[in-house]
């Protein structure tokens, strides 16, 4: 394996899981059943691995969501005729803001719902005129395909 391939492998999983004997018992889901399971945790950062079934989405998913929002606003689908559009420059700023959040795309501990909440805040910070419902609807449309 070349040094480039090794560096790429390290970037894909930056966490160093604890050995099986060191796993910790924690709730799997936040519900009334209170199921417990052994969770991995990172020896370097102390982050506990998410085992709740919700997995964080990659950066490409949020690029698709923003492009879908741009298309919907450009096409006046269900919006006022002169509604402000979503230019490429604002999409780049929103993506830059997402990149600044530590661990936003980290599948080890981040959940999809926490990502969506953060995504809504960031989009509304740049575009206060876009409603929470519009952003969530666009995320749901993107999830459906």
pLDDT digits (tens, 9 = 90+) for 111-124: 888 899 999 999 99
Backbone angles phi, psi at 122, to 5 degrees: -65, -45
Average pLDDT over residues 50-70: 85
pTM comes to 0.71
Tell me whether residue 54 is in a domain. Answer: no
* Angstrom distances, CA of residue 128 to CA of 48, 116, 120: 34, 16, 10
Domain identity same for 66 and 107:
yes
SS3 37: strand
Tell me whether residue 129 is in a domain. Answer: yes
| More confident of the two residues 83 and 84 | 84
Q: What is the pLDDT of residue 113?
A: 86
Whether residue 48 contacts residue 109, with contact meaning beta carbons closer than 8 Å, is answered with yes
Position 18 confidence tier, pLDDT thresholds 50, 70, 90? low
Mean of per-residue pLDDT scores for the chain: 77
Domain identity same for 125 and 63:
yes
Tell me whether residue 45 is in a domain. Answer: no
Whether residue 36 contacts residue 52, with contact meaning beta carbons closer than 8 Å, is answered with no
Q: What is the largest CA-CA distance in the chain?
A: 61
**Encoded tokens for 109:** 């501990």
| More confident of the two residues 116 and 49 | 116
Whether residue 15 contacts residue 44, with contact meaning beta carbons closer than 8 Å, is answered with yes
Domain identity same for 67 and 129:
yes
Tell me whether residue 50 is in a domain. Answer: no
Domain identity same for 87 and 121:
yes
Q: What is the span of the domain harbouring residue 30?
A: 3-39
Q: Does residue 47 surpass a pLDDT of 70?
A: no
Position 67 confidence tier, pLDDT thresholds 50, 70, 90? very high
Rg (CA), the chain: 19
Tell me whether residue 47 is in a domain. Answer: no
Task: Check residue 116 and report its DSSP letter.
Answer: H
Task: Please count the structural domains in the chain.
Answer: 2
């Amino acid at each position: 394996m070349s040094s480039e391939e090794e560096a790429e492998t390290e970037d894909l999983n930056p966490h160093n899981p604890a050995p099986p004997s060191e796993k910790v018992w924690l709730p799997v889901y936040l519900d009334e059943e209170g199921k417990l399971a052994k969770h991995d945790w990172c020896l370097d950062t102390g982050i506990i691995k998410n085992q709740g079934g919700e997995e964080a989405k990659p950066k490409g998913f949020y690029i698709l969501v923003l492009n879908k929002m741009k298309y919907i606003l450009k096409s006046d689908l269900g919006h006022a005729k002169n509604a402000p559009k979503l230019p490429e420059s604002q999409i780049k700023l929103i993506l830059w803001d997402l990149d600044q959040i530590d661990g936003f795309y980290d599948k080890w501990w981040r959940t999809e719902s926490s990502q969506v909440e953060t995504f809504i805040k960031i989009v509304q910070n740049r575009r206060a005129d876009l409603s929470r419902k519009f952003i969530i609807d666009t995320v749901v449309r993107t999830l459906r395909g």
